[in-house]
Copies of this chain bind each other. A is one copy, B any other.
Amino acid sequence: MGGVPPLTTAEAEKLRAGTPAWRLTHQGANLQRRFDFPDFKTVLTFVNRIGAIAEEEGHHPDIAFGWGYCVVELYTHKIKGLHENDFIMAAKIDALMNEFGS
């Protein structure tokens, strides 16, 4: 991924059509989604499932969580912006969320 430039905001917006629950932040350099849950335990389970995907993909999001919520931020450090892989990761996390029932 080192040699490619980050996606432009226009390119990112086009890919975002496949993961519309995510929003672009940091002038289009990051992709973020918030997830809400009824308790802490479910949040922690969800966070661990994301962690497993991250390890499989070798691509690690930034995650902020606490009682009842989790905010996931995707970004490709090597290119200081978004790569198509961030959208693949977002789609995998969306599919995971579907398993959690909302």
Bits for A26-68, please: 1 = Cβ < 8 Å to B, else 0. 0000000000000011001001100100110000111111110
- Residue-wise interface mask of A (52-96) relative to B, using a CB-CB cutoff of 8 A (1 in contact, 0 not): 001100001111111100000000000000000000000000000
Flag if B65 contacts A62 (CB, 8 Å).
Answer: yes
Interface band, chain A:
10 to 19
Please state if A63 and B65 are interface contacts (CB–CB under 8 Å). Answer: yes
Enumerate chain B residues within 8 angstroms of A62, measured Cβ to Cβ: 64-66
Interface residues of A (CB under 8 A from B): 40-41, 44, 47-48, 51, 54-55, 60-67
Provide a sorted-by-A list of 21 A–B residue pairs whose CB atoms are within 8 angstroms. A40-B51, A40-B54, A40-B55, A40-B60, A41-B55, A44-B47, A44-B48, A44-B51, A47-B47, A48-B48, A60-B66, A60-B67, A61-B66, A62-B64, A62-B65, A62-B66, A63-B64, A63-B65, A63-B66, A64-B64, A64-B65
